[in-house]
Amino acid sequence: MMGWGNMWGYSGYGNGLLGNGNYWWMGLIGMALQLAFWIALIVIGVKLFRNYSSRTTVGHYTRDNNPLDILRERYARGEIDAEEYQRRKNDLQ
């Protein structure tokens, strides 16, 4: 009685579905794909971290803002009056 093993090419002596072992390179491809996945995941994580950390905020001001823009925003919100706005604007220019 041959059973299922012989039907799928398995004779019990190391010859499985893949025949006589000529497909060893498939394991290398699998490892390379896993390595590429983890490298891509790490690169994305580092880029997100750098992007998040480069935009640190003080209050609600970001480091990317120009000092004159910050001054205009403070004047528009009423935090400083016109005299102080002009004085600081002259100092910055």
Of 51, 76, 77, 75, residue with least CA distance to 64: 51
| Cut 0.85: pTM above it | no
For the chain, strand residue ranges (E) read: 57-58, 61-62
Classified as helix, coil or strand, 47 is helix
Tens of pLDDT along the chain (93 residues) come to 455 555 555 555 555 555 556 777 888 899 999 999 999 999 999 999 988 876 655 555 555 678 888 888 889 988 888 899 899 888 887
